[in-house]
Structure 1
Amino acid sequence: MTARFLAKDRGISLAAARARVAAEPRQTAQGARMESGLGSSRTGGSYLDGQGRLVVTVVRTADAGSVRSQGAVARVVTRSTQQLDATQRTVRSRLGTGFSALGTDVVANTVTVTVPAADVARTRTALRGLGGVKVVGTTARISPQANVYGGQQIAFNGYVCSLGFNARRGSTPVFITAGHCGEGYPTFTRNGITLGRTQAYSFPGNDYAYSSLTSSWTGVGAVDLYNGSVRAVKGSSNAAVGSAICKSGRTTGWTCGYVRAKNQQVNYGGGDVVSGLTRASACTEGGDSGGPWMVGNYAQGVTSGGAMINGRCLQVYGQENQTYFQPVGEILSAYGLTLATS
């Protein structure tokens, strides 16, 4: 997928793009070694240019020959990594938290400061007299996370589950997951950033819940395939027994099987009996709870539970998997939700 993007973006053949992608790890390692050899006072860093060549910057013209002899392109620049790092510290000292983004642009050999468009003049005044700084205004909102997809990990109270589907309640973004994940109204996080707080749950009897979604996240109408791509959600359906079906989850990723039976009751022990579940033969394990099930582009439900041996799904032991999911239609109806689609 990376090579196809590169071929399209750069207007080169797929074969050439694949060769460039294959070379990048070696070039990256070589650049790091050469930077280390020069030291932070004699180089401004290294990068790959638009033609896929390794470029190593040098502050002193005398170092250019050594760079070329090692097969890289030498480029003489004004500022060293040491100087740029010092400039970053000064910028941060002057601005405090008054910026959206801040960092070194190795190609431009500057420190770039991104601020809201309305703050450009103020920022330039605050940084007056400081060389090697570029101030950029933006009207975009920089968030700690951009998108969250079905099947990705959600954490709460020391436990993990999987997000089911993104949805809306009226005009408010929410997401659905398993009821036993939302039991007790926990707050969910992802990568240490708050996702939202459980708004309602039903378990046992049913096994579904929905949570708010904070403004730091965009709930996309798609499911993580765990191969670097996603599958768009176009709507929901209730696939027939015998249908091929797949699910996404943080532990076992994207796995597939068949719909085996509907309207199943499962006893999870301790008096926790759940009814109205669908049984399927895709592999799920601990942590996959709440994750989405799909037939084509159509949502089917969220993982409730399944049979395991030593914490592994049955296929590991040569048996057919027994996994149960809560049909999505009941969840949407119970809470007046609409699936996010794309």
Structure 2
Amino acid sequence: MSRFTQVLIGFALVAMALVSASSAFAQQPDDPGKPDARALEEKHQRMLGLFDVKGVVFTDADEAKGRLVVGVENRGLATAVQQRLKAFGVDPALVDIVETPPVEQMASLRDGVRPVQGGLQINFTNYLCTLGFNAVRDGVRGFVTNSHCTASQGGVEGTTYYQSLASTDPTPIGREAADPSYSSGKCPAGLSGKVCRWSDSAFVTDQTGGNASLGSIAKTAGIGSLTISDKFTIVGEGSAGAGVTVNKVGRITGWTRGVVSNSCVNVGVSGTNIVQLCQNMVTSSSVIVSPGDSGSPVFTIGSGNDVTLQGILWGGSTDGKMLVYSPMANIERELGALTTTASSSSASPPPPAKASIISPTPGSTLPGSSATFTRDDGVGVTDYSIQVGTSLGSGNLLHIYAGMPSSVTLTNLPTNGSTIYVRLWSYVNGGWFYNDYQYKAAGD
């Protein structure tokens, strides 16, 4: 059977926080005719009420273009959207309205495989989903799949799971142990009548007696294949931004890939009052998702079969050419720190350490109106944010809320000899922590 619900996507920037979680804010535009990122985001937040308009798919703040974007299922909604924008105090002239297909939650069949690994079919009650990835949480082994792949989305009911079917192998492989509730208190201010979470995820304790492979995802014979030929090995966790190619393995469409087209998308689930905050959207010219792929691990491929875990898939468009996934930072924000690699379970991991600015040298004088700030990765850090401003803790020159790359270049720095303040945030073990730095602007 399939169990999926149509969803509408929307953009907003915070993340399984943001807070965040996995989003990538573009650098503040140089064009003086464009609103800066902070002003644009402030207008974007006013648009949250658009999710009450049936057929609105997403909202976005496009910092690169200095424009707001609203996705709708059909262009006939444009007038209604524009009227609501005026009511929210947002000039419709700043907003592009684009036709976008709706997104659906996925869930519907495959073989029993041992050891249990990511990408395999799982069976619960009368439904089918995909196992995301094995993990250790608070010293307990288990796996992660979608919250909507439980007996009831949000809240723990002790759902029992089988692989691949209870009818062919009635021995349980796991029991639901952690599934945070959805509540209005988790929604951003201005989003009324909704309940929210930062990820569609749940943790299931292992009942295989150790017959599960930590750090392994089933690898099929090729793109689109369902035949297991090898395994991918998880070597770390990451935060993919727009333009990055990501892969997934699911029980219906197998191994597929696409490009992250938008990050930190707020998603409204049609027919419910649920909004998923700060998710990532992936698109392709071919089919990459189908009902039953819910829970699929999403990852980037490094050397050989080594992969970096990015999150778990939970939704997709009706044409199968777009999928939505919850980033790892969001999942661990709600479920707590997870061990997802085999190597990290065999020895004590190094203590976590916040990321640091390695260039320019802290305390130095910047070279001019343009400067590139480069960070290291820290230890155990799964997401990064940066603020650059003319006062401590401000981000009036640049504010990347989450998904900061290893280097960012500013071209709008003052050249009056003033003090420039940089705050580098690190997401570690379910919380955000920062280091502060000071620089002297070029000039007198």
Q: TM-score by structure 1 length?
A: 0.52
> In the TM superposition, what are the counterparts of 1:62-73 in structure 2 within 5 Å?
none
> Residue 233 of structure 1: SS of its match in structure 2?
strand
AA partner of residue 238 (structure 1):
S
Q: Report if the CA contact (8 A) 2:113-2:163 is conserved.
A: no
> In the TM superposition, what are the counterparts of 1:306-317 in structure 2 within 5 Å?
306-309=316-319, 313=320
> Residue 334 of structure 1: SS of its match in structure 2?
helix
The 1-side partners of 2:137 and 2:122 are apart by 20
The 2-side partners of 1:152 and 1:294 are apart by 15
Q: Report if the CA contact (8 A) 2:172-2:208 is conserved.
A: no
Q: Report if the CA contact (8 A) 2:251-2:293 is conserved.
A: yes
Change (3 A) 1:183 1:200: farther
> In the TM superposition, what are the counterparts of 1:118-157 in structure 2 within 5 Å?
146-157=114-125
The 1-side partners of 2:129 and 2:250 are apart by 8
- Identity level (%): 28
Per-residue deviation, 1:340:
2.7
Change (3 A) 1:272 1:336: closer
Deviations 1:194-238 (A, max 9, x none): 111111224553311110011432233111122211110001000
> Residue 288 of structure 1: SS of its match in structure 2?
coil
> In the TM superposition, what are the counterparts of 1:38-117 in structure 2 within 5 Å?
none
1:175 maps to 2:175 = no
1:166 maps to 2:134 = yes
* Runs ≥4 residues deviating over 3 A: none
Q: Which residue of 1 aligns with 2:289?
A: 284
Q: Report if the CA contact (8 A) 2:137-2:339 is conserved.
A: no
1:188 aligned to 158, 161, 165, which one? 161
The 2-side partners of 1:207 and 1:278 are apart by 12
The 2-side partners of 1:218 and 1:307 are apart by 31
Q: Which residue of 2 aligns with 1:222?
A: 216
The 2-side partners of 1:170 and 1:290 are apart by 21
Per-residue deviation, 1:327:
0.6
Change (3 A) 1:171 1:178: same
The 1-side partners of 2:250 and 2:339 are apart by 18
1:200 maps to 2:178 = yes
Q: Unpaired segments of 5 or more residues in structure 2?
A: 1-111, 183-195, 222-228, 302-306, 343-444
Q: TM-score by structure 2 length?
A: 0.41
The 2-side partners of 1:151 and 1:176 are apart by 11
The 1-side partners of 2:311 and 2:207 are apart by 23
The 2-side partners of 1:171 and 1:273 are apart by 31
The 2-side partners of 1:272 and 1:336 are apart by 22
Q: Which residue of 2 aligns with 1:54?
A: none
Change (3 A) 1:145 1:163: closer
The 1-side partners of 2:294 and 2:266 are apart by 17
AA partner of residue 302 (structure 1):
I
Q: CA RMSD in A?
A: 1.9
Q: Report if the CA contact (8 A) 1:175-1:219 is conserved.
A: no
Of structures 1 and 2, the larger Rg is shown by 1
State the aligned residue count.
Answer: 189
Deviations 1:305-327 (A, max 9, x none): 01114xxx1xxxxxxx2210001
> In the TM superposition, what are the counterparts of 1:293-332 in structure 2 within 5 Å?
293-296=298-301, 297-309=307-319, 313=320, 321-332=321-332
Per-residue deviation, 1:183:
4.6
Deviations 1:47-78 (A, max 9, x none): xxxxxxxxxxxxxxxxxxxxxxxxxxxxxxxx
The 2-side partners of 1:236 and 1:219 are apart by 17
> Residue 267 of structure 1: SS of its match in structure 2?
strand
Higher relative helix content: 1
Q: Which residue of 2 aligns with 1:26?
A: none
Q: Report if the CA contact (8 A) 1:173-1:219 is conserved.
A: no
AA partner of residue 219 (structure 2):
L
Per-residue deviation, 1:158:
1.1
Q: Report if the CA contact (8 A) 1:247-1:292 is conserved.
A: yes
Q: Which residue of 1 aligns with 2:249?
A: 248
